[in-house]
Amino acid sequence: MVPETWPEKDAAGKGPERSCGQVLEQAAARLRAAGIDGARRDARLLLAAALGIEAAQVMAYPERWISDAQGAEVERMIVRRARHEPVSRILGRREFWGLELHITPETLDPRPDSETLVAAVVARIAARAAPLKILDLGTGSGCLLLALLSELPAAEGLGIDLDPAALAVASENAACLGLAARARFATGDWAEGLGGGWQVIVSNPPYIIGREIEGLSPEVAEFDPRLALDAGPDGLKSYRKIVPQAARILAPKGVLVLEIGAGQGDAVCRLMRQSGLAAIERLADLSGTKRCLVARPG
Ligand SMILES: C[S@@+](CC[C@H](N)C(=O)[O-])C[C@H]1O[C@@H](n2cnc3c(N)ncnc32)[C@H](O)[C@@H]1O
């Protein structure tokens, strides 16, 4: 995508004062000074968004002028990033499993690590074109459910969240991706009150120890919703509710796929066994951390 017209100086040499390349260098320097990792990459992404072009084009047209209005837009974005707001939150969108998702302050910014759950489910479905009932507990932006529906054309799913504002975002994402006919969303406290027969239950619940949240990077502690992070004094609060509920409502040959935090595997496996689940597998994410547990009815 290249803009049809770049701003130009007039015949008298009056007009825009700064070139694309100059703005990029200044923005990157400001982000570096603010301690942002990957300052130049982020400056490029934000500049591209302000100009309405692909990030690669920023590098291809360093000599082009940018208008005052575009400069002001870049400036607003750079100020936000210098305060450690993630690029995805500034742009209001994030790519997950190849899908473009809208995100808001009420939704977790989906993490690439959570794609481990999607891969785990897809790998365990023998007949991918067969009808399937999927439940996503703590759906947030809807990323897990929508990624699964995009892979499994006859599947239908329900996404549950405590926060209605997150569910509004998930519904909008389903509509934008053409998946609304197969995705329902409802407020709820995990699976409380739901009936059984779910062939797939996925969940990426909050799993951070409450008092440790302030010590996380500002990108997480200040910009991800607390409801999406805080799992009480030992980080296991959500699993204590989700695991027995899921064990009750899984179909006999169903599969439960849960995201876990680093070091939580043993404790969550114990909860699974106590609830009668079996055949437990531990799967690593791309960086080698055990990120996902898979279990089946015993
Ligand atoms: C870690 S986020 C995961 C969001 C999304 N599934 C993802 O992977 O990006 C956890 C989600 O659980 C929701 N949540 C927290 N407590 C809940 C509860 N008691 N019942 C249902 N959802 C809850 C939060 O609002 C948040 O959207």
From 163, 200, 237, 292, give the residue whose CB has the most ligand 1 atoms within 8 Å, as the site to mutate: 163
Distance CA(71)–CA(47), nearest Å, equals 9
The whole-number pLDDT of residue 284 equals 96
The residue that leads in pLDDT, 222 or 5, is 222
Compare 17 and 47 and report the one with higher pLDDT.
47
Q: Is the pLDDT of residue 281 over 80?
A: yes
Query: DSSP secondary-structure letter at 246?
Result: H
What mean pLDDT is reported for the chain? 95
Give residue 215's pLDDT.
Answer: 97
Kindly report the three-state secondary structure assignment for every residue of 31-88: HHHCCCCCHHHHHHHHHHHHHCCCHHHHHHCCCCEECHHHHHHHHHHHHHHHCCCCHH
**Cα separation of 257 and 282, whole Å?**
10
Which pLDDT tens digit goes with each residue over 60-92?
888 888 888 899 999 999 999 999 999 999 999
Helix (H) or strand (E) holding 215: none
Q: In whole angstroms, how far apart are CA 64 and each of 30, 44, 246?
A: 21, 15, 57
Homologous superfamily of domain range 94-297? Vaccinia Virus protein VP39 (3.40.50.150)
pLDDT digits (tens, 9 = 90+) for 166-224: 999 999 999 999 999 999 999 999 999 999 999 999 999 999 999 999 999 999 999 99
Nearest protein Cα to ligand 1, atom 24:
228
Number of Cβ atoms within 10 Å of the Cβ of 91: 15
Confidence class of residue 268 from pLDDT cuts 50, 70 and 90?
very high
Domain ranges in the chain are 18-83, 94-297
- How close is the Cα of 141 to the center of ligand 1, in Å? 9
Distance 211 CA to ligand 1 centre (A): 18
Question: CA torsion sign, 111 to 117 to 123 to 129?
Answer: negative
Please list every protein residue whose CB sits less than 6 Å from any atom of ligand 1.
108, 110, 114, 138-141, 143-144, 160-163, 166, 188-190, 204-206, 227-228
Please state the pTM of the whole predicted model: 0.94
The CATH label, of 3.30.1300.10, 3.10.580.10, 1.10.8.10, 3.40.50.740, for the domain at 18-83 is 1.10.8.10
Q: For atom 17 of ligand 1, which residue has the closest CA?
A: 162
261: nearest Cα among 294, 237, 221, 290:
290
